[in-house]
A = this chain, B = another copy of it.
Amino acid sequence: MWSLAKIAAHIKGEVIGDANFEVTSFATLRSAQEDQISFLSNTKYKKYLSDTDAGAVIVSEEFVDLVPNNAIVVDDSYVAYAKAATLLNPTHTIELGVDNSAVVAENVNIPDSASIGPQVVIESDVVLGENVVIGPGCIIQRACHIDANTRLIANVTLCHDVEIGQDVIIHPGVVIGADGFGIANNKGRWIKIPQIGGVKIGNNVEIGSNTTIDRGALEDTIIGNGVKLDNQIQVGHNTVIGENTVIAGCVGIAGSTIIGKNCAIGGGAGLGGHLELVDGVQLTGMTMVTKSISEPGVYSSGIPAEPTQLWHKNVVRYRQMSKLTDRVKELEKLISKK
């Protein structure tokens, strides 16, 4: 149970109503019960505010009069929700020490503050920081470095010589440091180019499930501090992702592409290789990037869904654009003669 006073202090908000009122947990405006707290940030949900059963609601100044119960007024209700929800949902306690079933190489030092789960493999020359959590089934190959407070949830694979910063969260199924796609065509047969670069992941990075980040061919693949990657993203070798850039699910980034800081890349976007995107570029979902982008701003591509019959017709017309252009040219000639 958390009092509104305590929550307000944590999120630097002001209680309007009973500061001693206590809540158990967060819920949406529609589902919340009297002992729960909710929030309004997306104005799409404003319609649910006046009828909510939530015992308290985190809102910005402009909506406070609509709150039927207690309110906590803040500047940015979404950030306040993030912070309050973190307060109310502390990380589950994790057992320290090394599980009996883990296989840890002899020369690896496990800090007393670390947790190594069941069925884990830690190969030689791995270095682990304080409070590191290696969840069940993770494989850490030789000479990886994992800094303090970093958590690998479960079933994560780090290939050799991968460096992970502090306060990083890596979700299940992630593979970091596998060989990049380097091949050379030798008289019709493809031969492998050794991938001898590494991967460096900064601090405060989060990596979603089944995302893959390849090691560099000669130099390193680099993920900057504060980068947030969603699920099933593919990061090619020698890619560089700048600080605080966020990338949604299913994005594919070919090799040697450099993405600036504070970019936001929508789900399913595809970026070609050897490109450069400056800081502050935003891509909407499924955008196809084949050239470098030198100006910050929002970029898009793709034609959204339409009924299939119409789609067929439009595709046909698209392919006839050349003829249409010729017809217009012909008309222009004719009319100029008249």
Interface residues of A (CB under 8 A from B): 25-28, 31, 44, 76, 78-79, 81-83, 85-86, 89, 92, 99, 101, 103, 117-121, 123, 135-137, 139, 141-142, 153-155, 157, 159-160, 169, 171-173, 175, 178-179, 181-186, 188-194, 196, 204, 206, 208-210, 212, 214, 218-219, 226, 228, 230-232, 234, 236, 244, 246, 248-250, 252, 254, 262, 267-268, 270, 272, 274, 283-291, 293, 297-308, 311-315, 317-322, 324-325, 327-328, 331-332, 334-335, 338
Contact = CB atoms under 8 A, between A and B. Distances in A.
Contact of A249 (B135, B190, B236, B318): B236
B303 A308 contact: no
Contacts of A284: 308
Given A193-B81, A300-B308, A303-B288, A252 B267 contact: yes
Contacts of A234: 230-232, 249-250, 267
A308 B298 contact: yes
Contacts of A118: 103, 121
A118 B171 CA distance: 22
Contacts of A290: 285, 304-305
Closest 4 CB pairs of A and B: A250-B252, A103-B118, A300-B311, A157-B172
Given A81-B184, A154-B157, A334-B335, A317 B308 contact: no
B327 A319 contact: no
A306 B301 CA distance: 6
Nearest to A282: B308
